[in-house]
A = this chain, B = another copy of it.
Amino acid sequence: MTEHQDITALMADIGARAKAAAADLAVASPEAKRAALEAAADAVWDGRAEILAANAKDLAYGRDKGLSEAMMDRLALDESRIKGIVEGLRAVAAQDDPVGEVLAEWDQPTGIHIRRVRTPLGVIGVIYESRPNVTADAGALCLKSGNAVILRGGSESFHSSGAIHACLVAGLRAAGLPEDAIQLVPTRDRAAVQALLTMTDTVDVIVPRGGKGLVGLVQREARVPVFAHLEGIVHIYIDKEADPEKALRVVVNAKTRRTGICGAAECLLIHRDILGTIGQGVVRALLDAGVEVRADETLRAIEGTTAATENDWGCEYLDSIIAAKVVDDLDAAIAHIRRYGSNHTDCIITEDDAAANQFFARLDSAILMRNASTQFADGGEFGMGAEIGIATGKMHARGPVGAAQLTSFKYLVDGDGSTRA
């Protein structure tokens, strides 16, 4: 067998085991799922030394690979971040169980009674990059929603994800649930991703979280339905009716609070009329905060900026860099975002209700904001508890995806020998 055949056989086996586990999970009790998550949280805390040791290996590998500071920040664990993982697991454990929830019920004049009831999706494949906590979050949310999951973490977080995954399996075992309910692909080989994208017999949906490389691969190769969690090319447009103080506060927070998350601002659009006032002030504040501002020709007049190239529009830096451009009006801002955005999160700073309404109506991002930092694009900040990520597609799930968004539904119809006339 070639190596590629090995990987295909490996993935087929993982898929078959996930499908078998999904049948059990779909009828698992809420108590068993909660117990598994609580036990997993205990295992993560008790095993924090092993997890940190595994993470040290990943950090060394990342340093050798020359990862950026922002990427290294996404990868790094410490005791406080492990505590965050433990709390995340406990928070998901404590949530209401979505499976079996009656979403609606009604009687029809023909005498039939109809219930719409929440069901698991089945088997979910999650493809993600370097953040090791996603292993715990995604595993927990899929289990809570009664789905089996196949996790495929980034090669940089290989050891950290493996150590966290072992804790999740310990939780399943403690609760008497099938260990195959949460599987981690045990290889860094990219062929495993390609296999996962085509496993229509065993995988019901793929959640791909990542940047441009993954976008292209998914569009070319996926045969399984996809909840895309792709790039966050987040724009902030400062309208001519912006409040100066709000503009300053929101833009600086949106760019600098944490640069490695998908809700971080990546491109600033400034209305020409307020270029010399609010615009200049905001750009200076970003420069003062240590942000590299890649500016169009007009904004290059501000000292400290560097020249943007065509590649800077629509770029997801995930780093302390922002593209910046002057636009003639709201229409031009909308046109720029339609062309270069990724339908993740986009924001307008304005006191003008009409402008905000236009921005909200004519753009179709999963999240549109007015006078609020794009770093609020997050399941926790939306009040949904843990999230598997921010869905950028329009199918099924959109925006922050929690356990409830990882479900489908079915109709249960009760009659009494009822026939259709």
Contacts and interface: CB of A to CB of B under 8 A. Distances in A.
Interface string A372-386: 110110000111000
B373 A122 contact: no
A110 B377 CA distance: 13
B376 A413 contact: yes
Given A110-B381, A204-B394, A364-B119, A245 B372 contact: no
A412 B381 CA distance: 14
A204 to B, nearest CB: 6
Q: How many copies does the complex hold?
A: 2
Given A245-B417, A414-B371, A415-B372, A395 B408 contact: yes
Given A394-B408, A412-B360, A371 B417 contact: yes
A416 interface: yes
Interface centre among A382, A399, A410, A413 (most CB of B within 10 A): A413
Interface in A396-412: 396, 398-399, 408-412
Interface centre among A246, A373, A416 (most CB of B within 10 A): A373
Interface string A204-235: 11000000000000010011011000000000
Contacts of A223: 219, 222
Contacts of A360: 412
A419 B249 contact: yes
A26 B358 CA distance: 12
Nearest to A243: B417
A368 interface: yes
**Among all A-B residue pairs, the 7 with the closest Cβ atoms:** A372-B415, A246-B417, A253-B419, A394-B408, A375-B420, A396-B396, A369-B413
Interface of A: 26-27, 106, 108, 110, 112, 114, 119, 121-122, 200, 204-205, 219, 222-223, 225-226, 243, 245-246, 249-250, 253-254, 257, 360-362, 364-373, 375-376, 381-383, 393-396, 398-399, 408-420
